[in-house]
Amino acid sequence: MNIIDELKWRGAVNQTTDEAALHDLTDKKQIGLYCGVDPTGDSLHIGHLIPFMMLKRFQLAGHHPVIVIGGGTGSIGDPSGKNSERKLQTMEQVHHNEDALSEQMHRLFGTENFRIVNNYDWLSKFSLLAFLRDYGKLFNVNTMLNKEVVASRLEVGISFTEFTYQILQSVDFLHLYQHEDVQLQIGGADQWGNITAGIDLIHKIEGPDAPAFALTIPLMLKADGTKFGKTAGGAIWLDPEKTSPYEFYQFWLNQDDRDVVKYLKYFTFLSQDEIADLAEKVKTAPEKREAQRRLAAEVTSFVHGPEAVKQAEHISAALFSGDVKALTAAEIEQGFADVPSMTVTSAAENIVEWLVATKIEPSKRQAREDVTNGAITVNGDRIRDLDFTLDPKAAFDGRYVLVRRGKKRYFLAHVTD
């Protein structure tokens, strides 16, 4: 199947310039294509996966993806439709973010048939006069003002700095067309104006028949109408230090039945037959959540590796059964990151005194009652003895004490020396 046909089947195409010509080109040759990301932070989040999944599919089909890290554009900001200017970062912070993002993208794409470039390498070489003479003369201000990404900001105001972003991104496309054999730029639906401005620049300099194309991705909304990737807890990061692999796995596992097939098409590399089979199971046995489990496993494996999937599944099984003894300290840290926590010393103490000191219990009377009634488990063991001495270093490498009060309420104590 042609890559464009596959992308359309997966619901991944919003707009294209001359789709028939792009389809024909990808049939005839392995093309170069790119997507840009500005180093505004030191980690990608799942929103970035949307265009990067497109690049990955092209890569698997034999095409040549390039990722542009916007060391140049990221230092000035992008008028992305928000009602405020992007906060400028120090170049030291920009360089730190560039290194972190490059490492993450190499994990997703490997090193074969894939390149990361930085637009600072060519944008920083322009003098102001050369920039205005060579490129500024080729952009009509009226046309730039009509681009949605700029027009949406005119009412609240936009600086000249961010206004020029469109020209800089166009120069990126021209540079990659000339030096990296790139014919296609991919981006979100809000980037259509910037991408087509780049095509216009290529046609003005290289000729109207130069094969340069745009492809944008639909805005991804959940069945309830809210934007995909937004959660009450904030962004879902690809950095395991910001969002643990278990939390990442759980995010995908908890997707709505109405959304899961769409996400299987977009975020996995499963075949049409495999996805059709899972879609049928959503209809006939939704309580088994097989589609969600497969989605969680596939995306987690792509981002964090197969071992992270095994670990996440192990944590999930232990939490479902209540048998936490088999978990490692690292799995305890991931699985109980969101429960109430406190810091304790490593000194052994009577269970009643310890429960009150950690504020897990409000009083000694309540603590004694809960222990006697079997409502307290420590590290997976039910405690009924009021004279029990709790040793904080007895389990989980001496790093944690996990307490469950009642059936579901957990507390995690971090042990210090």
- Write the DSSP assignment of 315-336 as a string of letters: HHHHHHHT--TT--HHHHHHHT
414 part of the active site: no
Q: Is 18 an active-site residue?
A: no
Cα distance between residue 92 and residue 43, in whole Å: 16
User: pLDDT class for 150, splitting at 50, 70, 90?
Assistant: confident
pLDDT for 78 equals: 54
Q: Is 137 annotated to bind ligand?
A: no
Q: Domain check: are 23 and 94 in the same one?
A: yes
The answer on pLDDT for 34 being more than 90 is: yes
| Residue 45 known to be catalytic | yes
- Is the per-residue pLDDT at 225 higher than 90? no
More confident call, 91 vs 45: 45
Give pTM, 2 decimals: 0.85
Q: Say if residues 345 and 416 touch (Cβ distance below 8 Å).
A: yes
List the Cα angle 386/389/395 in 5-degree steps.
125
**Based on the domain organization, do 243 and 213 belong to the same domain?**
no
8 A C-beta contact, residue 334 and residue 400: no
In a domain? residue 172: yes
Rg (CA), the chain: 26
Boundary (domain end) residue, out of 321, 350, 372 = 321
* Residue where one domain finishes, among candidates 178, 199, 217: 217
- Residues 201 and 239 placed together within one structural domain of the fold: no
> Is 50 within the bounds of a domain?
yes
Residues 311 and 391 placed together within one structural domain of the fold: no
CA distance 123 to 291: 45
Q: Is 270 helix (H, G, I), strand (E, B) or coil?
A: coil
Q: What percent of the chain has pLDDT over 70?
A: 96
Instruction: Verify whether residue 95 is a known catalytic residue.
Output: no
Q: Kindly state the tokens that stand for 410.
A: 């957990």
**Which two three-digit tokens encode residue 43?**
């980690």
Residue among 56, 57, 63, 86 flagged as catalytic: 86
Active-site residue identified among 27, 29, 82, 121: 82
Give catalytic status of residue 10 as yes or no. Answer: no
User: pLDDT band at 64, cuts 50/70/90?
Assistant: very high
145 and 37 together in one domain: yes
Q: How many helices and strands, by DSSP H and E, does the chain display?
A: 19, 13
Q: Looking at residue 244, what is its pLDDT?
A: 92
Instruction: Name the active-site residue from 169, 185, 268, 358.
Output: 169
Q: Is 96 an annotated catalytic residue?
A: no
> Would you say 61 and 3 are in contact if contact means Cβ atoms under 8 Å apart?
yes
Q: Is 82 a catalytic residue?
A: yes
CB-CB contact of 110 with 70 (8 Å): no
* CA–CA gap between residue 404 and residue 417 (Å, rounded): 23
Asked whether residue 254 falls in the same domain as residue 213, the answer is no
Question: What 3-state DSSP class applies to 293?
Answer: helix
Same domain, 188 and 99: yes
Catalytic residue status for 231: yes
Is residue 407 flagged as an active site residue?
Answer: no
- Residue 23 designated active-site: no
List the domain range (segments joined by +) for residue 391. 341-416
Among 217, 238, 260, where does a domain finish? 217
Helix or strand run (H / E) with residue 46: helix 46-60
Of 143, 178, 226, 231, the active-site residue reads 231
93 annotated as a binding-site residue: no
Same domain, 168 and 120: yes
Mean per-residue pLDDT over the chain, rounded: 91
According to the annotation, is 262 in a ligand binding site? no
Q: Is 249 annotated as a binding residue?
A: no
189 phi, psi to nearest 5 deg = -60, -30
The CATH number linked to 365 is 3.10.290.10
Catalytic residue among 16, 38, 48, 289: 48
Instruction: Say yes or no: 233 and 194 in one domain.
Output: no
The residue annotated as part of the active site, out of 227, 283, 384, 414, is 227
Rounded Cα distance, 270 and 110, in Å: 20
Which one-letter DSSP state was computed for residue 238? S
* Catalytically annotated residue among 133, 179, 203, 230: 230
Q: For residue 282, give the 3-state DSSP assignment.
A: helix
